[in-house]
Amino acid sequence: MTEEKLKELLSSMTVEEKIGQLVQLTGDFFIDEGIATGPMEWLSINEDQVKCTGSILSTVGAKKLKDLQDRYMAINPHHIPLIFMADVINGYRTVFPIPLGQGCTFNPELVEEMASVAAKESARAGIHVTFSPMVDLVRDARWGRVMESTGEDVYLNARMSSAAVKGYQGSSIGDKDKISACIKHFAAYGAPVAGRDYNQVELSERTLKEEYLPAYKAGVDAGARMVMTSFNTLGKLPCTANEDLMKKTLREEWGFDGVLISDWAAIKELVFHSVAENDEEAAYLGIKAGVDIDMVTNVYINNLKKLIDEGRVPMQWLDDCAYRVLAYKNELGLFENPYKDADEDYDGKVDSEHMAFARKAAPESFVLLKNEGMLPIPTKATNDCGSVAFIGPYMNETNICGSWTIFNNNDDNITLEQALKERNPEISYVIEPGCKTLAAGQHFVGFQSKFDNPLTEAEQESMMEKAVKAASEADRVVMAIGEFNQMTGEGASRTEITIPEHQLELFRRVAMVNDNIIVVNFSGRPLDIREINKKAKAILQVWYPGTVAGYAVMDVLFGDAAPSGRLSMSFPYNVGQVPVYYSELHTGRYAEDPENRFTSKYMDAPNDPLFVFGYGLDYTDYEYSNLRISSNTISENSPIKVSVDVKNVGWRDGKEVVQLYIQDMVGSVARPLRQLKAFDKVDIKAGETKTIDFTITTDMLKFYDVNMNYVAEPGEFKVYVGRDSKASLCESFRL
């Protein structure tokens, strides 16, 4: 539709119809026989209002959505199509590793490809918009939603944000098999005080701009057509009512002209935040901040008309919001083809090409934290290591996709046990889970359902005994353990970030009878794994790998694939250190001198995390040498080239993540110890040496100076290149 026609459409709409475009409901309102009365009563809205709704969330399925679209368009006064939105987080039917694991791939092209696959599967299921990527910077592992982020680093997050947007949207959201991305949660939702979900956020303006905003901006720059506001307050003002952030930063400074949606009921929550006296006031604050769509409440629908009639909300505000929503529908091509790519023949089927791709992709998210000659497991064909006992509840757990995969089919999920049996490796092995992911008798309130473990203590004990016996008779033990997936995600903050106690108990008992333990750890956050680290000889961190978890884990355990992930978030030593991250400031009392009480340190724990950001082993090893820079001075027009030689000194080909960090030695405000500024994931064959080149520009040296100007200040800089954030090869240059 032309812009002119779209404007004509807007001007022919009543105020009620325009308000309708700003309302998002769930699919429950639209039933085969018409409009459901139950949800209407619950939301105190009437049938005419439902007929004007602009979009629907969380309803999927090609046939279902086509029918719904037909029925809705027939009753909508101007026959305007609905937009269908949903949370497709790490895949639709084919589920990929959780976003935190995707961050560990350090492979933006791979992340783009995963998003592109997710886009195709969701587009065919009738979806037009996904509420993804979540690009909130995260540094507090107590927060359950760290699993939805790509981690603690500013630069890595920005790269992944942009990659995901490109994958979902391609060059246009109207194209076949493309959907719109939605950057969320704007802003700083990832820094709740004490890691408690929905809690307030306190950040200095400098930290917000320098560290938290770049990933949102990168998504907007990559062309994201939707942004979602966040639940939290920032400096005591709820973001959903923060005009400065929504209008000045997002729209004026960043030039975002897409649609801004509230998070679930976030406009109504302005009342609970105590910044609005009632729903009417909340509606006023929401629209004043420029929030276009109210997600699932009646706050806009029941209050905007009155506010307009009274002259408090100018008609122009409503027109602007409604026009943006109509223009979005137009960009998606819905006026010409309201079903977009919904395809009953494709939807609901497993796409074997996608599954094969997921199997190849997952090992790139696995981080090998420790390996004392245990992995890969040799078979009789190579170098028989004797018998292996496969223990732990994750051997036959089917919840292996993370807690935000509401549309995948659990029956598609390949457990470790199934994959092991199909592989039938040339070793002698037994499988004894030993317990379930939840403890005996445990009742657990999950994300959309409740979970129970009906086992009695006695039954669990008997399972454990069998597993311990198997461990005592085996030469090696693989223990697949970890957090139950619902212990992570929204509303899943924890103060003890450990593996559930009954599983630890199993681990301890196994460790008493067998020294050769390989732990495969499933979790949605970095955990305190000190005890495991002490007793296990190998630790493979696999997060939640997705639909083909079993295949991917077995591929890595038996060496068909190598783990090439590097930590996107530091693994703390203990919870008391949290938030712990590599790019911290020096402090005035930095040196960790045990003889000097008055330095910045803990009495009972080191300052360093157990495993640092960027860390991860491979099945081969690398040597770095010959770091060189093209010049010792840099200027705006003369960037410098940094080169390093990386040799694969091991016995097999590998994928190394070469990381470049910069330290600004003196600034007008305190500068971080170092910051990741570039990385390259490269294939290096056994015995081969590759020269990796990076370019440093003055843009990479910029920060908010003492006057809040974004500048690179003259002075000395150090550049470190290496395997992780502790890289020690170093050169220096001056600006």
Of all residues in this chain, which one has the CB nearest to ligand BGC in the complex?
A: 131
Instruction: Name the helix (H) or strand (E) containing 417.
Output: helix 416-423
Token couple for 240: 């959903």
Which CB atom, from 403 or from 574, has the smaller least distance to ligand BGC? 403
List CB contacts of 23: < 8 A, sequence separation 6 or more: 49, 52, 53, 54, 55, 293, 294, 300, 301
Strand order in the sheet with 716-722: 675-684, 654-664, 716-722, 729-734
Which CB atom, from 182 or from 727, has the smaller least distance to ligand BGC? 182
Which CB atom, from 188 or from 481, has the smaller least distance to ligand BGC? 188
| SS percent in the chain: helix, strand, coil, step 5 | 35, 20, 45
> Rounded to whole angstroms, how far apart are CA atoms 284 and 318?
11
Amino acid at 191: A
Q: How far is the CB of 175 from ligand BGC (least distance, A)?
A: 23
Amino acid at 289: A
Q: Residue 356 carries which DSSP code?
A: H
| Contact by Cβ (8 Å): 347, 61 | yes
Q: How far is the CB of 111 from ligand BGC (least distance, A)?
A: 18
Amino acid at 8: E
Amino acid at 3: E
- Longest Cα–Cα distance in the chain: 82
> Rounded to whole angstroms, how far apart are CA atoms 43 and 60?
22
Binding residues for ligand BGC, rule: CB under 6 A, are 87, 131, 184, 263-264, 490
Reported residue count of the chain is: 735
Instruction: Name the helix (H) or strand (E) containing 519.
Output: strand 517-522
> Rounded to whole angstroms, how far apart are CA atoms 294 and 23?
5
197 classed as catalytic: no
* DSSP per position, 46-105: -HHHHHT--EEES---HHHHHHHHHHHHHHSTT-PPPEEEE---SBSSSB---HHHHHHT
What are phi and psi for residue 452, nearest 5 degrees? -130, 145
Q: How far is the CB of 388 from ligand BGC (least distance, A)?
A: 41
Q: How far is the CB of 238 from ligand BGC (least distance, A)?
A: 14
Residue keyed to tokens 């920032």:
234
Token couple for 328: 């979005």
Pairing of strands 476-482, 517-522: parallel
Q: How far is the CB of 134 from ligand BGC (least distance, A)?
A: 6
Q: How far is the CB of 713 from ligand BGC (least distance, A)?
A: 38
Q: How far is the CB of 611 from ligand BGC (least distance, A)?
A: 28
3-state secondary structure of 540: strand
Which CB atom, from 232 or from 460, has the smaller least distance to ligand BGC? 232
Q: Of 87, 263, 343, 528, which is the active-site residue?
A: 263
Token couple for 209: 């701009």
Which CB atom, from 76 or from 230, has the smaller least distance to ligand BGC? 230
Q: How far is the CB of 570 from ligand BGC (least distance, A)?
A: 24
The residues assigned a catalytic role are 263
